[in-house]
Amino acid sequence: MAVALIAHGGAGKWRPGSDDDAVAGLADAVEAGRRVLLAGGSSLDAVCETVVRLEDNPIYNAGTGAVLNFDGFCELDASVMESRESRAGAVSGLQRVKNPVLVARKVMEETDHVMLTGDGAQRFARVMGFPDHDPVTPARRADWMDKRNRVDEILGQRALKMRKFLQEHPEYAGGTVGAAAVDSRGVLAAATSTGGVTLKMVGRVGDSPVPGAGNYADVRMAASATGTGEFVLRSLATRAIAERMGQGEALEQALEAVLAQLGRDYDADVGLIAVDAAGTPVARHRTRDMPHAWFSGEGPVASRMRVPPA
Ligand code: ASP
C-alpha cells in the first residue's frame, strides 16, 4: 500500500517575513513523519511525530507559542483519530503541557473516554507523566498586548463578539497545525492541535478536538481542518468529506464540495487537508494562506504557502 502524509500550519494570513519559516517548518515536520512511515511505522505514530514537531516550533499556534485567550493565558485543544475501530482521543482547555497531541493520544489509548477538558485533562496529563510546561512565549505575550489594545479601540464594550474583528484582520488568525496519513497497512490517522482563535473567551472550545469537526479518520480518508472553528463545528466538515466519499465521490471532489458549501453557508475562513486510503493528499483553503507540506509513496516532501488558483 502507498504511504502518504499531509500537514498544515493553519488557514489565515502569515505576516511577511514569517512565511518562509512557516513553509520550512512544515517541510521538516512532514519529513519526520515520512521517516516514521517509510520505516514501517503506523499512521498514528507518523501524524503524532509531525504534530509534535509543529507544536514545539513557536511560530505555529499550537503547543509552545500558542495564542493567548482574552484573559491572557493559553487553553490548548488537540485530538487524534485512527480508522482502526474509529478510535479517537482529545483534550481541550489544557493550560500547561508541552505536547497536547500526545495527551490526546493517551486519552484514546489509556482511558474509556474520548475527550478530557480543563482541570481533568491537566491532572490526567500529570498522571501520565507529562511535566509542567508554560507554552506562553514572549512574542505571543507581546502580540496579545497589542491585540487587546486594538480590540478595545475597535470594539469597545462589544469585545465578546470577536468574529467580525478577526474576519477583518485575518493577520490575527492562523497557525493551528494538523496532519493526516495512511500507513503501509492501509490504516488512516489524523491529528490536530491548536491554541484556538486568538482572544477567544475563557472556556471556548473550537473544532480541533472534536471528532468529525476539526479532525477525522475512517477507512476512506483522514482529515484535519483549520480556520474559524465555529463554522467547522456547525458543518462537521471533516466528517462531511467522509460521507460524500461514502456516496462515491473521490477525495478531491468531496473536499472541494465541502469547502464550497462552507463558503455558501458562512463565507467561512477555513482550510482542509486530507489523504485517502490510496495515498492521495489534498489541500484546499478559503483564506489567503495555508502553509502545507506533503509526500506520497516514494516521492520527496513538497511544501508551499498556498494552493495556486485552478
Ligand atoms: N480551528 C481553530 C479553532 O477554531 C483555529 C484555527 O485553525 O485557526 O480553534
pLDDT tens-digit readout, 189-217: 999 999 999 888 899 999 999 999 999 99
215 lines ligand 1 (CB under 6 A): no
Distance CA 48, CA 185 (A): 17
Could you tell me which of 23, 89, 45 has the C-alpha nearest to residue 305? Answer: 23
Which atom of ligand 1 is closest in space to residue 196's alpha carbon?
9
Q: Which of 55, 167, 193, 197 to mutate to test the pocket of ligand 1 (most atoms within 8 A of CB)?
A: 197
227 lines ligand 1 (CB under 6 A): yes
207 lines ligand 1 (CB under 6 A): yes
Region of 280 (left: φ > 0; alpha: ψ -120 to 50; beta: rest) is beta
pLDDT digits (tens, 9 = 90+) for 204-250: 999 999 999 999 999 999 999 999 999 999 999 999 999 999 999 99
Helix, strand and coil content of the chain, in percent to the nearest 5, comes to 40, 20, 40
176 is catalytic: yes
Confidence at 159, pLDDT banded by 50, 70, 90: low
pLDDT digits (tens, 9 = 90+) for 287-299: 999 999 999 999 9
> What integer is the mean pLDDT of 60-83?
96
Q: What is the pLDDT, as a whole number, of residue 288? A: 93
10 lines ligand 1 (CB under 6 A): yes
Residue 114 predicted with pLDDT over 80: yes
Q: Which of 208, 230, 236, 269 to mutate to test the pocket of ligand 1 (most atoms within 8 A of CB)?
A: 208
Amino acid making up residue 33: G
Q: What is the pLDDT, as a whole number, of residue 160? A: 59
> 194 Cβ partners below 8 Å, 6+ apart?
10, 61, 62, 66, 76, 77, 78, 175, 176, 177, 206, 208, 214, 226
Distance 32 CA to ligand 1 centre (A): 24
Q: What is the pLDDT, as a whole number, of residue 147? A: 81
pTM (2 d.p.): 0.96
Distance CA 295, CA 35 (A): 11
Q: In what order do the strands lie in the sheet with 215-217?
A: 215-217, 221-227, 270-276, 281-285
89 lines ligand 1 (CB under 6 A): no
Q: What is the pLDDT, as a whole number, of residue 1? A: 77
Catalytic residue among 50, 64, 176, 280: 176
Which atom of ligand 1 is closest in space to residue 214's alpha carbon?
1
Confidence at 139, pLDDT banded by 50, 70, 90: very high
* DSSP letter, residue 170: G
Residue 156 predicted with pLDDT over 90: no
> What integer is the mean pLDDT of 130-151?
90
Cell 470594539, residue?
155
Centroid of chain to Cα 25: 15
What are the strands, taking DSSP E only, across the chain?
Answer: 4-8, 76-82, 87-94, 115-117, 177-182, 188-194, 215-217, 221-227, 270-276, 281-285, 292-296, 302-304
Q: What is the pLDDT, as a whole number, of residue 100? A: 98
Q: If you average pLDDT over every residue of the chain, what do you get?
A: 94
Q: What is the pLDDT, as a whole number, of residue 296? A: 98
Closest C-alpha residue for ligand 1 atom 7: 226
287 lines ligand 1 (CB under 6 A): no
Which atom of ligand 1 is closest in space to residue 270's alpha carbon?
7
Lowest mean pLDDT among 35-49, 78-92, 155-169, 275-289: 155-169
279 lines ligand 1 (CB under 6 A): no
Distance CA 197, CA 167 (A): 11
> What integer is the mean pLDDT of 46-71?
96
Distance 39 CA to ligand 1 centre (A): 32
Burial of 185 (0-12, 13-18, 19+ CB in 10 A): exposed
Distance 38 CA to ligand 1 centre (A): 30
| CB 205, CB 304: distance < 8 Å | no
Confidence at 52, pLDDT banded by 50, 70, 90: very high
> What integer is the mean pLDDT of 4-12?
96
Q: What is the pLDDT, as a whole number, of residue 148? A: 81
- The three cell numbers of residue 12 are 489565515
